[in-house]
Amino acid sequence: MARIKMVEESDAEGPLAELYVASKARSIAGVVPDILRTMSLRPDFLAAIVAASRLHFTDGALNRAQHVMIASYVSALNRCRY
């Protein structure tokens, strides 16, 4: 059970609903990741995070898979379930 209030997909409206649809479309699992849903009360902030994340995970010196692998490892070290 989450300790952070999150807006459910069925309750999302306007820009938040659009962000959810786009996020779900990019998701391999076809879901809105909980880490993004934790920012659902501030769609403006969520949009900025999504934009920064897309830039961060763009292929450059490392490809997307390598970025994800490093992010996953760091999350595990920090005992972060996201």
Residue 14 has pLDDT above 70, yes or no: yes
pLDDT attached to residue 54: 82
**In which band, very low, low, confident or very high, does the pLDDT at 82 lie, cut at 50, 70 and 90?**
low
pLDDT bin (cut points 50, 70, 90) of residue 28 is confident
In terms of pLDDT, which residue wins out, 77 or 63? 77
What confidence tier does 43 reach under pLDDT thresholds 50, 70, 90?
Answer: very high
Mean pLDDT of 41-63: 87
Interior CA angle at 41 toward 36 and 44, to 5°? 75
Q: Map tokens 């403006």 to a residue.
A: 44
What is the distance between the alpha carbons of residues 5 and 53, in angstroms, rounded to a whole number? 22
Which is nearest to 56 in space by CA: 38, 29, 74?
74
